[in-house]
Amino acid sequence: MKFDELDDRMRIFETARDYCVLPGIYIVARLDGRSFTRLTKNLHAFEAPFDPRFRDLMLDTAEGLLADFCASYAYTQSDEISLLFPLDCNLFGRKTRKLNSVLAGYASARFSLGLGSLATFDCRICELPTPRQVVDYFRWRNEDAHRNALNAHCYWQLRKENHAPDDATTALTGLSVAQKNELLFQRGINFNDLPAWQKRGSGLDWEEYDKPGQNPVTGQATLARRKRVRRDLDLPMRDAYGQFIATHLAGDSVPGRDGLSPELS
C-alpha cells in the first residue's frame, strides 16, 4: 500500500469526530487548574486564602494566552482563566479539539515555567450565540469569584483558630451571606474592605497608547499608535460588570485586525 493511500485511510480515525464552532457564535475558553489545591497548599507554600504571588502567576498565564492567541478579553479568578475570542475568530479553523488541546497545553507550560514546577490545566469551550449570553457568562464567573472569596476567608479564619478542616466546613454550612460577613466582622475583617481582585477576579484586555520613537531618516521625534495588554485588578460587580463586558463587545478588536501593532511583555 502506498503511503499516501495509508495516510488518507488512517487520518479518518483522527478527524472523523472533529467538531467546529459555527460561524457567528462567540467562543469562550475556560481553563481550570488540575489539583491546584494540592499544588498550592502541599507542594508550595502559598498563603491562604489568597496570595499575590499566585495571582501574578495566573495573570501572567492569562496575558500570554490573550496575546499569543489574539483573544480580545481574559478574566481570571482563583485557579481559572476565561478567554473570549473575537466573533470572527478562525483560530485552528474553530475546531474544538485543537482549541482545547493547544490552549490547555500552553497554559500548563506557561504557568509551570513561572512556578518552577509542573502544573496542568484542562480546557473546555463554551459556545455562546448572543452578546447577552457572553455578558451573562462573565457575570457568572465574576459573581462566583465573590461567593468563593467570602467562603474562603471564612474557612481560613476558622482554620487559623485551630478548627479541623471538616469542622470548619461544617461550621459554615447553612450560613447566609450576612452571617458569613458577620463571622468575619467579629474577627476584625470587613469583607467590603478586602482587595477587589480577591472578591471579583481580574480582567485583561487591550489598550491603545502612543509610543515615542524617532524617524531614522530625519531624526525627528515621532509617536506611533500601539496596543498593549492592560491588567484590571479593580473590576466592577453585577450590573456594572455586565455593562463593562457589553461595552467591550461593542468595540471588539485585537491587534492585527485593526492595523495597530501590539506591544507584548
What are the extents of the domains in the chain? 19-141+195-265
Tell me the per-residue pLDDT of 48-58, one tens digit each, with 9 for 90 and over: 999 999 999 99
Entry pTM: 0.88
Contact 102, 10 (CB under 8 A): no
153 alpha carbon, distance to own chain's centre: 21
Cross-strand bridge partners of residue 125? 29
User: Is CATH 3.30.70.3000 what the domain over 19-141+195-265 is classified as, yes or no?
Assistant: yes
Per-residue pLDDT of the chain (265 residues; tens, 9 = 90+): 788 888 778 887 777 678 999 999 999 999 999 999 999 988 998 999 999 999 999 999 999 999 999 999 999 999 999 999 999 999 999 999 999 999 999 999 999 999 999 999 999 999 999 999 999 999 999 999 999 999 999 999 999 999 999 999 999 999 999 999 999 999 999 999 999 999 999 999 999 888 888 778 787 877 778 899 999 999 998 899 999 999 988 876 555 555 444 453 3
Which pLDDT score, from 0 to 100, does residue 142 have? 96
